[in-house]
Structure 1
Amino acid sequence: MLFLTNFADLGLLLPLVGMIALALAAVGRRRDALAWSLAVICTLTTMLLLKVLTFVFIDPGKFEGLVNPSGHTAAGTVVYAGLLFLIGERFASRTILALLAGAMFSLIFGFTRLMLRVHTLEDVLVGGMVGLVGVSVIACLASPRRPTVPGLELMVLTAIACFGMLTFYGHSINAEVELQWLAAQIRSASTL
């Protein structure tokens, strides 16, 4: 499970997102690069805010449901489903592809987080929903379909994605500790 869940770690995803945005712009898909960047940034920002708010207002010792929304599930969903959408949108209906890919990656990453016992079902459901919204944003904002997509363009995007995953797999950013510290600072400031 750890092998799969590491594909959704920020240490891999942040450089991968930048590489994909640059690759999209380089092959002339600037609108897609903007849609991709905007959706991923908004998804990660939403998760940051949800995590901090949850850490500030919910005491995990007293509450058994939502205690730590799954950033891995949200981030993995928006990045990999979004990437699959951008590469494969020629082969299926845009909405169906975005929703099916989003649901598939939500299940994969949510399941790994549950099996590792780092999140509750509610945590992964929230992360999955945020990730699905992010993929939907990519689908809505992406460039209109073109009659043909150059094979070289698809090869470049696929190669960059594979290179990024292989290069950054295993890199980890433990943002959780910093977010908990931030929540503790907010709690202590609010009691003054």
Structure 2
Amino acid sequence: MDLLLSKAVDGVTNLGDSAILLPLSAGIFLWLLAFCSRQAAGAWALAMLAAVVPIALLKFALQTCDPLSRLRLVTPSGHAAFGTAVYGGLAMLAARQRPGWAVPAFAAAAILVAGICATRLMIGVHSEGEVLIGLAVGAASLPVLYNRIRRLPPFAIDVRRVALVLGPLSAVILAWMLYHDWGLSPNGVIREAALRLGAATMHCEVR
């Protein structure tokens, strides 16, 4: 893989990194809470938790004693799950407010998520099964958001208010990414904790 392609792959895959998605999802939550409604903010928070918590639990469970390592199902893709939830959720909010935006919004979200999934496979950090599990978990979180926001009255999208939140948020994301060398992965911590639990409860070998 030449340098230019490698940089492009890194850039796309980092769009699903927690270093971007955590502050982005938090910013969207704060924007909904401050300028829309507590119900909309709560729906967003619940949908994000519905994507993040199952993936974290699956990562933990599957890495305890490496029970499915031969099938290459060890660490389901958090990039795929969280990326699907955040970008799909953004598309859903846009379509909810402006029906004419539905097709381009969902198309853009699909392209982003497809790029994230493809690059996770290209750099060899996940198997096809792990990416599919991540996609399934992320996609399952979207009905949680839809079922709650569809009952809410329309809320206005003020571009100036969006800029007020996303401007400082963009600076925080860039600073965070630079500080963490363009990545923030919980996999190492999860794996160490899982293997230690396995060693303590199932007499597994800690490697």
Asked if 1:76 is matched to 2:87, the reply is no
Which residue of 139, 156, 163 maps to 2:161?
156
Taking a change above 3 Å as real, the CA distance of residues 99 and 188 of structure 1, as seen in their structure-2 partners, is farther
Identity within the alignment, %: 28
Q: How does 1:1-192 map to 2 (within 5 A)?
A: 1-59=9-67, 63-92=70-99, 103-144=110-151, 146=153, 149-152=155-158, 156-157=161-162, 160-161=165-166, 164-165=169-170, 167-169=172-174, 170=177, 171=180, 172-191=183-202
Corresponding residue SS for 1:173: coil
- Superposed displacement of residue 74, structure 1: 0.5
List gaps (5 residues or longer) in structure 2: 1-8
Corresponding residue SS for 1:63: helix
Query: Could you tell me whether the CA contact under 8 Å between 1:35 and 1:141 is conserved in 2?
Result: yes
- The two structures have a TM-score, normalised by structure 2, of 0.77
- Superposed displacement of residue 117, structure 1: 1.0
Query: Could you tell me whether the CA contact under 8 Å between 1:87 and 1:158 is conserved in 2?
Result: no
Query: Could you tell me whether the CA contact under 8 Å between 1:7 and 1:165 is conserved in 2?
Result: no
**Matches of 1:124 and 1:162, distance apart in 2:** 31
- Superposed displacement of residue 2, structure 1: 0.8
**Matches of 1:41 and 1:160, distance apart in 2:** 21
**Matches of 1:86 and 1:72, distance apart in 2:** 21
Aligned residue pair count: 189
- Superposed displacement of residue 96, structure 1: 8.6
- Superposed displacement of residue 64, structure 1: 3.4
Deviations 1:42-90 (A, max 9, x none): 2111110010111115356x51342220001101110111122113323
**Matches of 2:78 and 2:19, distance apart in 1:** 13
Taking a change above 3 Å as real, the CA distance of residues 155 and 73 of structure 1, as seen in their structure-2 partners, is farther
Query: Could you tell me whether the CA contact under 8 Å between 1:40 and 1:75 is conserved in 2?
Result: yes
Whichever residue aligns with residue 167 of structure 1, its letter is: V
- Superposed displacement of residue 133, structure 1: 0.9
**Matches of 1:84 and 1:165, distance apart in 2:** 19
Q: RMSD of aligned C-alpha atoms?
A: 2.9
Deviations 1:100-153 (A, max 9, x none): 676544322211101111111111100001011112211111153646x5341x
